[in-house]
Amino acid sequence: AGKRSSFDDWAQQRMRPTRPIGTRPPEVAANILICLIHQTNYLLDQLIRQLEKAFLLEGGLRERMTRARLAERGRYSRR
C-alpha cells in the first residue's frame, strides 16, 4: 500500500462531511451557485487576459502558422 503523506493526514483530520446542494435550503443553494458563478467569471477573465497577452506577443493563428512554415522551409533549404 502507498505511504500516506503528512498532507493526507492533515486533510483527513479536517475533512467535514458535505451535503449535496439539493438537500440545502434554497437560499443556501442560491448563494453557493452565485459563488461558483463569480469564481467561474474570475477564472474566465484571467484566461482572456492571458490569451490577449499571447495574441499580442505571438500573433494570431495565421501569423504563427506562417512563422512555422517559414522555419520549416529554412530547415529544409539548409539540408
Q: Where along the chain do its domains lie?
A: 25-77
**Model's pTM, two decimal places?**
0.59
Average pLDDT over residues 52-58: 95
Per-residue pLDDT of 1-51, as tens digits, reads: 567 789 888 888 888 878 887 888 999 999 999 999 999 999 999 999 999
Residue 31 phi/psi, 5-degree rounding, is -65, -40
In angstroms, the CA 65 to CA 59 distance is 10
Task: Give the three-class secondary structure for 3.
Answer: coil
- 77 versus 35: the higher-pLDDT residue is 35
CA nearest to 70, candidates 52, 59, 56, 54: 59
